[in-house]
Amino acid sequence: MANKVLMKGNEAIGEAAIHAGCQCFFGYPITPQTEVAAYMARRMPKIGRVFLQAESEVAAINMVYGAAGAGVRVMTSSSSPGISLKAEGISYIAGAELPCVIINIVRGGPGLGGIQPAQSDYFQATKGGGHGDYRLVVYAPASIQELVDTVQEAFDVADQYRVPVMVMGDGMLGQMMEPVEFKDRNTTRNLPEKTWAANGLRGRQKHNVINSLFLKPEELEQHNRRLQAKYAEIEKNEVKYEEYNLDKEVDLTVVAYGTTSRIVKNAIKMLEKEGINIGLIRPITLWPFPSKAIEDAAEKSKYGFISVEMSEGQMVEDVKLAVNGKKPVYFYGRSGGMVPTPAEVANKIREIVGGAK
Amino acid sequence: MAIVFERPKALLDVPTHYCPGCTHGVIHRLVAEVIDELGIIDRTAGVAPVGCSVLAYDYFACDMYEAAHGRAPAVATGIKRAVPDSIVFTYQGDGDLAAIGTAEIVHAAARGEKITTIFVNNAIYGMTGGQMAPTTLPGQVTETSPYGRDINTQGHPIRVSEMISTLDGAVYVERVSVDSVPNIIKAKKAIKKAFELQMQGKGFTMVEVLSICPTNWGLSPNESIKWLRDNMMPFYPLGVKKDITAGEVK
Ligand SMILES: Cc1ncc(C[n+]2csc(CCOP(=O)(O)OP(=O)(O)O)c2C)c(N)n1
Ligand code: SF4
């Protein structure tokens, strides 16, 4: 029998990281993710690992930079305004090609915004956030079990490609409780040894340097090209998504991720009874984005697509790029911490399908 | 014949980019000599700042990190916490440490982070071409205080060593200068002591080094040394600001 325990999303994140061998956690409190830090504060010292509350998000992410450079598995966690502060460090980490895991339990913005669940950091997470030509691998799990599995996977992906990986949930996922199981997992990935780590020569002949500075333009361009090649590899290997109800022709395909996808599934069930057939593509990786799956669904989706988000239309841009004009793309979103109801989503879909019919 | 003077092993055999006469090179050498003498190169990691010493990672032979502007103490914290038996130092200018990185240095010191900071105070932003730093003296002319630093509008200089020494986590803070041979010898002693206390796990240690910037001060190296003595030393008095081991029987 599987050992299931009832856990709050934020605490499950902490436990998942511990299971993945996370050696150091550096954080700073911000709602709605503070329980991650509190959980780590309780657990990490007990097992001889490091928990440190930094003086700011800026410091926390730079501590991550130091620990990652020293070759240990390291994680930090924050929510939207805190991630903005971490953006500087994330860019440096990407530039120095260091592996780490960053949790973002998103709340509404811009600015201080609110503390309720939102998905309005999509642009920031997938299009940069910090300066320079870099990418983050961004996961958006939809259940606490998936959150746990994703956090563990994130450490492996970070180590395999030497990249920062973000696991993005909304406040809802962080705060709700669900039964989860922590499986002992052995990665099937071939994780390279961290011969680049800088923690003292320890008999090594040449010193290791953790750095993102390339003063010669030719060298920086070369570095950027190398990063891009790595990102292309990630796009090839790491796209993850779920298809729901798409084993047949549908009237419309919804694209939604995280908590929103669960709401959409309920709306789909409501509409089924009225003879309206709706499919769902749920990106599990927001970057790399499941563009091909969406493009492929265009033929099956009679009246096109709708992006349903807890933001004012951020992911819809990627959906449009994927669909590439083959079908219309609609949008429905709430923001500011407003969570759409299944009825609301169903209404919007009826409007589109009815109008098209 | 016995060799009496050679390049410290902790420094790589490469030319540096520092301006002629600049004392950054002297300070590098002192740190490297201390690493050699303590025999710790195998477990030392240094963190270079943003500033003229941004390329320090190309000069030191130990493992090195380049940090974001001001963030070296946080990076050092991450390294030291991840690998507690490592010896970690940051090398930071006054713009880096006393302006954009004030929070990081204050909190690393307050936490008693077992790292050593070499704080190079040349009263100016060197790398960006001579703008006012938090350590720029009242009346001092810089690119961004062209009429002389006016304390009414541009505020007062920060005496970093005095400030840091008020923090309980700081165990050893000394201000030294590299303007003369006797002072250079004292500077090295201070740096060595700071590393030794780190090795004993006592807490945060910092050595502030008064340094010159002939290029941006618009003076010859000799005039710069004189300017340092006449203007910086009275404002930033040399000496031990804090030493928790003072009075300990050795
Ligand atoms: C975030 C950020 N802001 C500004 C800069 C530009 N910058 C580079 S060096 C420097 C000043 C460094 O001065 P200081 O620390 O006194 O060192 P020095 O050059 O005098 O040795 C500044 C502002 C930067 N690189 N990053
Ligand atoms: S600009 Fe000033 S601090 Fe920088 S290398 Fe030249 S003399 Fe030294």
Tens of pLDDT, residue by residue over B103-146, are 999 999 999 999 999 999 999 999 999 999 999 999 999 999 99
For residue A50, give the nearest of B44, B81, B106 by CB distance: B81
pLDDT band at B249 (very low <50, low <70, confident <90, very high): low
A42 and A149, same structural domain? yes
A257 and A340, same structural domain? yes
User: Residue B107: its chain A contacts at CB < 8 A?
Assistant: 54-55, 59
Confidence at residue A188, expressed as pLDDT on a 0 to 100 scale: 86
Of A207-211, A304-308, B213-217, B243-247, minimum mean pLDDT range: B243-247
Outline where DSSP puts E strands in A111-250: 137-139, 164-170, 177-181, 209-210, 241-244
For chain B, give the mean pLDDT. Answer: 97
ipTM for the predicted complex comes to: 0.96
User: Residue A67: its chain B contacts at CB < 8 A?
Assistant: 78-79, 81-82
A204 and A286, same structural domain? no
For residue A67, give the nearest of B82, B103, B106 by CB distance: B82
Is residue B210 within 8 A of residue B121, CB to CB? The reply is yes
A248 and A117, same structural domain? no
Query: What percent of chain A is modeled with pLDDT above 70?
Result: 99
Is residue A258 within 8 A of residue A221, CB to CB? The reply is no
Residues in chain A: 357
Angle at A81 between CA A80 and CA A87, to 5 degrees: 85
Query: Among the three residues A204, A237, A270, which one is the final residue of a domain in this structure?
Result: A237
Confidence at residue A357, expressed as pLDDT on a 0 to 100 scale: 58
Which letter does DSSP use for residue B158 in this model? P
Tokens (6 digits) for B141 = 């002319």
Tokens (6 digits) for A272 = 């089924």
For residue B68, give the nearest of A62, A199, A201 by CB distance: A62
Q: Domain boundaries in chain B?
A: 24-243
User: Residue A132: its chain B contacts at CB < 8 A?
Assistant: none
Tokens (6 digits) for A325 = 């004009």
**Each residue's pLDDT tens digit, A62-79:** 999 999 999 999 999 999
- CATH code assigned at A249: 3.40.50.920
Confidence at residue A314, expressed as pLDDT on a 0 to 100 scale: 98
Tokens (6 digits) for B174 = 């000394």
Nearest in space to B240 (alpha carbons), one of B182, B189, B200, B178: B189
Residue B180 scores a pLDDT above 80: yes
Residue B188 scores a pLDDT above 60: yes
Q: Who's near A123: CB < 8 A, 6+ residues apart? A: A314
Sheet containing strand A278-283, strands side by side: A241-244, A278-283, A252-255, A305-309, A329-333
Which CA distances in Å does B3 have to A223, A340, B6? 43, 78, 7
Can you give the pTM of this predicted structure? 0.97
Distance B228 CA to ligand 1 centre (A): 21
Is residue A99 within 8 A of residue A75, CB to CB? The reply is no
A116 and A61, same structural domain? yes
A168 and A41, same structural domain? yes
Q: Is B14 on the interface with A (CB under 8 A)?
A: no
Confidence at residue A185, expressed as pLDDT on a 0 to 100 scale: 77
Shortest-distance ligand to the CA of residue B94: 1
A144 and A97, same structural domain? yes
Q: Compute the average pLDDT of residues B178-190.
A: 98
Residue B231 scores a pLDDT above 80: yes
> How far is the C-alpha of B176 from the C-alpha of B192, rounded, in Å?
13
Q: Who's near A154: CB < 8 A, 6+ residues apart? A: A20, A101, A137, A139, A165, A167
Q: Is A76 on the interface with B (CB under 8 A)?
A: no
The domain of A65 spans 5-237
Q: Is the CB of B49 under 6 A from ligand 2?
A: no
Query: What percent of chain B is modeled with pLDDT above 90?
Result: 96
Classify each residue of A162-180 as buried b or exposed e, where b means 16 or more C-beta atoms within 10 Å of its C-beta.
bbbbbbbbbbbbbbbebeb
- Give the residue on A whose Cα is nearest the Cα of B48: A211
Angle at B238 between CA B236 and CA B242, to 5 degrees: 105
Residue B250 scores a pLDDT above 70: no
CA B81, chain centre distance (Å): 22
Q: Domain count of chain A?
A: 2
Is residue A353 within 8 A of residue A327, CB to CB? The reply is no
A278 and A339, same structural domain? yes
A84 and A23, same structural domain? yes
- CATH code assigned at A113: 3.40.50.970
pLDDT band at A355 (very low <50, low <70, confident <90, very high): confident
A281 and A142, same structural domain? no
A256 and A228, same structural domain? no
Confidence at residue B248, expressed as pLDDT on a 0 to 100 scale: 78
pLDDT band at B247 (very low <50, low <70, confident <90, very high): confident
Q: Compute the average pLDDT of residues B166-172.
A: 98
Is residue A95 within 8 A of residue A132, CB to CB? The reply is yes
Q: Is B143 on the interface with A (CB under 8 A)?
A: no
- Half-sphere CA count of A21, side-chain side, radius 13 A: 15
Q: Is A165 on the interface with B (CB under 8 A)?
A: no
For residue B44, give the nearest of A69, A200, A212 by CB distance: A200
* CATH class belonging to B24-243: alpha beta
Paired residues of A4 in beta bridges: A181
**Each residue's pLDDT tens digit, A124-175:** 999 989 999 999 999 999 999 999 999 999 999 999 999 999 999 988 899 9
Q: Which of A63, A73, A90 to mutate to test the interface with B (most CBs of B within 10 A)?
A: A63
A312 and A232, same structural domain? no
Q: Which of A72, A207, A208 to mutate to test the interface with B (most CBs of B within 10 A)?
A: A207
Query: Among the three residues A237, A264, A282, which one is the final residue of a domain in this structure?
Result: A237
Q: Is B9 on the interface with A (CB under 8 A)?
A: no
- Give the residue on B whose Cα is nearest the Cα of A53: B111
> How far is the C-alpha of B99 from the C-alpha of B119, rounded, in Å?
13
User: Residue A69: its chain B contacts at CB < 8 A?
Assistant: 65, 75, 78-79
Residue A356 scores a pLDDT above 90: no
CA B110, chain centre distance (Å): 18
Q: Compute the average pLDDT of residues B218-244.
A: 98
Q: Which residue type is seen at B110?
A: A
